[in-house]
Amino acid sequence: MVRWISGLAVVLAATVANAQPVDPYAPSPPPAKAPPTPAPPAPAPGPALGAPQPAAQDPVLSEQVATALVARAQELIEAKIWIDAKQLAVEALVKSPNGPSSAHAKAIIKQANTALGIAEPAPQDTVKITDDKLPEPGPAEPAPPVDTVVHTSRAGLVHGALYGGLIGATIGSFIGKNEASGAVPIGIGLGAVGALAGNYAARKLDADPAQIRTVGAGTVWGGVIGGMFAGTVQGANGGEVSGSGVMVGASIGATLGGLLTISLAKDHRLTTGDVALVDTFAGMGTLGGLTIGMLMQPAQREAYTLNAALGATAGVIVGYVAGPQTNTTERRMLRVAGLSLAGGAVPFLLYAGIHDKHATWDERLTGGLASLGLVGGAWLGFYLTRDMDEGMDVNTFKHKDADDAPAAVIDRHSSGRWALGGVGVTPLSPQLSQDQGLAVSLLGGAW
C-alpha cells in the first residue's frame, strides 16, 4: 500500500512540473551543438611509380601525315592557290615540327608569303641596344625572287626538246647524203631551240604542270601513232619503209596531237595524275600491240606496227576517259607502269631458253604470256597502291559538264567531255535491213 502511494506521488509530481509556466527571466539554454562536418573525401590515389603512362603521339604517324600535307601543299603551290597551300604547310609543321618534311613545309610557307606580298620581319640586333628605346626597324629587304613555275618550265624544256628534235630530224633526213647524216645534227640543233622555246612558252603563258604535260602527252603519243602508221602504210604489200617517211608521219602525228590537246589544257581538263594514267595505258597499248603480234604471227610484218598504233590509240582514249574518274597520282602510276613492264618482260626470259628458229610456237607462247603479263602486272600495281595518295588527285578547277550525249558505249558531250556511257539498244532500222534485229551504239556524240 505504501509502495502504491509513493508511485502515485511521483506521477503527480511529474504532472505538476510539466504544467508549470515557463519563467521568462530564466537564463536561456545553451545552443545545440551543430552536427560535425563530414570529412572531405580522400583524393584518388595517383598512378603508382612505374605504372604505364598514356601513350604519346606516334612520331612516325605524325611524319607520314605531315608528308602527305606537304605533298598536297606543293600541288596547290603549283596551281597558285597560295592561301590553302600555306595553311596545309603550317598544319604539317604542327604535326612534325622537326621531321624530314619540315624544311619543305617552311619553303612552301616562304613561297606563299612572297606570292601574297607578306614580307617576313627582318631580324633585329638586340645586343647593341643600350638605352630604353628600341631601334626603329629599317626598310625590309626584298625577298629573293621565287620561281613559281619551276616544275612547269622543266616540263616545257623536256617536251619542247622532244618536239623540236623530231621536227629537226624530219627535215634533216631529206638534206644529208643519207638520212642519218642530216637528221642527227639538225635534230639536235632544233631540239635545243625547242627546249628554249618550250621553257619560254611555259613562263610566258603562266601554264601549270598539268597543262604542259597534257600538250606534251599529245605530241609524244601523236608522234608514236603517226610514225607507226606511216611505217605500216609504206611497208604494206612488200613496200619499202624509209626513215624519212616514218619521220614525216611522226611529225604530222605529233603536231595534230599537240593541237588537239591544247583545248584540253586550256580548260584544265586533266591533272598531272590523269596524264600519268594516259601515258601508262598508252605505253601498255603500244607494247601489247607488239606482243599480240607475236601471238598472231601475221603474214606481213607491218601488222606489228599497226597493232602497236591501234594499241597506243586505245590506251590514250581509255586513259583520257578513266583519268578524271580515278585517283591516280604520278607517284602511283610510276609503280603501276613498272610492275606492268616487269610482267611483260619476264616471259622473254623463257623465250631465250625455248627459242626454236624452225618453229613459231615459241614466239606465240611468249607473245601470249607477255600480253597477259602486261595486264596482270598493271592489275597488281593498282591493287598494291590502292591506298596510295588517296584524295590527292583532285582537279581544283570546276567545270560545267553537259550530259547531253546519246546513249552509247563511249559518249562525247557538247562541253567537250568524253566518258564511258551505257549500252544503248535500239531496233534495227528498216532502211538498213529488212530483217528484224537490234543495234548497239558504240560511239555517240553531241556538239
242-248: Cβ within 8 A, 24+ apart? 242/179, 243/173, 243/179, 243/180, 243/183, 244/170, 244/173, 244/174, 244/179, 247/166, 247/169, 247/170, 247/173, 247/183, 248/170
Listed ranges 158-172, 228-242, 385-399; the one with the highest mean pLDDT: 158-172
Model confidence at 415: pLDDT above 70: no
Closest-CA residue to 314 (of 221, 379, 235): 221
Model confidence at 27: pLDDT above 60: no
pLDDT in tens, 294-318: 999 888 888 899 999 999 999 999 9
Q: What is the pLDDT of residue 161?
A: 92
Model confidence at 154: pLDDT above 70: yes
Model confidence at 106: pLDDT above 60: yes
- The 3-state DSSP class for residue 425 equals strand
User: Is 313 part of a structural domain of the chain?
Assistant: yes
The mean pLDDT of the chain is 78
Q: What is the pLDDT of residue 360?
A: 87
Model confidence at 426: pLDDT above 50: yes
Per residue, the 3-state secondary structure of 151-174, as one string, reads HHHHHHHHHHHHHHHHHHHHHHCC
User: Is 214 part of a structural domain of the chain?
Assistant: yes
Least confident of 45-59, 235-249, 286-300, 357-371: 45-59
Residues 170, 241 within the same domain: yes
User: Is 137 part of a structural domain of the chain?
Assistant: no
Model confidence at 447: pLDDT above 60: yes
Rounded percentage of the chain residues whose pLDDT exceeds 70 = 72
Least confident of 61-70, 230-239, 356-365, 393-402: 393-402
Least confident of 29-38, 75-84, 205-214, 340-349: 29-38
User: Is 349 part of a structural domain of the chain?
Assistant: yes
Q: Report the distance separating Cα 211 and Cα 200, nearest Å.
A: 15
Residues 245, 300 within the same domain: no
Q: What is the pLDDT of residue 17?
A: 41
**Which domain-ending residue is among 71, 100, 118?**
118
Q: Which residue has the cell 634533216?
A: 172
Least confident of 28-37, 43-52, 266-275: 43-52
| DSSP-assigned states of every residue in 5-42 | HHHHHHHHHHHHHHHSPP-TTSPPPPPPPPPPPPPPPP
Residues 256, 166 within the same domain: yes
Q: What is the pLDDT of residue 122?
A: 56
And the C-alpha cell for 67?
Answer: 608528308
Number of structural domains found in the chain? 4
Residues 75, 97 within the same domain: yes
Amino acid, single-letter form, for residue 379? W
Q: In what order do the strands lie in the sheet with 418-420?
A: 418-420, 410-412, 443-445
User: Is 142 part of a structural domain of the chain?
Assistant: no
Q: Which residue has the higher pLDDT, 13 or 209?
A: 209
User: Is 293 part of a structural domain of the chain?
Assistant: yes
Residues 286, 373 within the same domain: yes
Residues 243, 302 within the same domain: no
Residues 280, 387 within the same domain: yes
Q: Which residue has the cell 603519243?
A: 221
Model confidence at 251: pLDDT above 80: yes
Decide: 90 and 72 in contact? Cβ < 8 Å: no
Model confidence at 34: pLDDT above 60: no
Q: Which residue has the higher pLDDT, 406 or 376?
A: 376
- 434 by Cβ neighbours in 10 Å (0-12 / 13-18 / 19+) ranks as exposed
Closest-CA residue to 281 (of 383, 366, 379, 386): 379
Model confidence at 123: pLDDT above 70: no
Residues 239, 283 within the same domain: no
Least confident of 27-31, 183-187, 268-272, 309-313: 27-31
Residue 182, C-beta contacts closer than 8 angstroms, at least 6 positions apart = 171, 172, 173, 174, 175, 176
Model confidence at 365: pLDDT above 80: yes
Decide: 280 and 310 in contact? Cβ < 8 Å: no
**Which domain-ending residue is among 230, 251, 269?**
269
**What is the average pLDDT across 14-22?**
43
Least confident of 140-144, 222-226, 287-291: 140-144
Report CA torsion sign: 60, 64, 67, 73: negative
Decide: 271 and 394 in contact? Cβ < 8 Å: yes
Model confidence at 229: pLDDT above 70: yes
Q: Which residue has the higher pLDDT, 102 or 308?
A: 308
**What is the average pLDDT across 27-37?**
51
Q: Which residue has the cell 584540253?
A: 264
Structural element, H or E, at residue 92: helix 82-95
User: Is 55 part of a structural domain of the chain?
Assistant: no
**Which domain-ending residue is among 269, 292, 312?**
269
Q: What is the pLDDT of residue 429?
A: 66
Least confident of 165-179, 215-229, 367-381: 165-179
Q: What is the pLDDT of residue 201?
A: 87
Closest-CA residue to 73 (of 110, 117, 99): 110
Model confidence at 74: pLDDT above 90: no
Residue 193 belongs to what domain range?
A: 149-269
Per residue, the 3-state secondary structure of 179-229, as one string, reads HHHHHHHHHHHHHHHHHHHHHHHHHHCCCCHHHHHHHHHHHHHHHHHHHHH
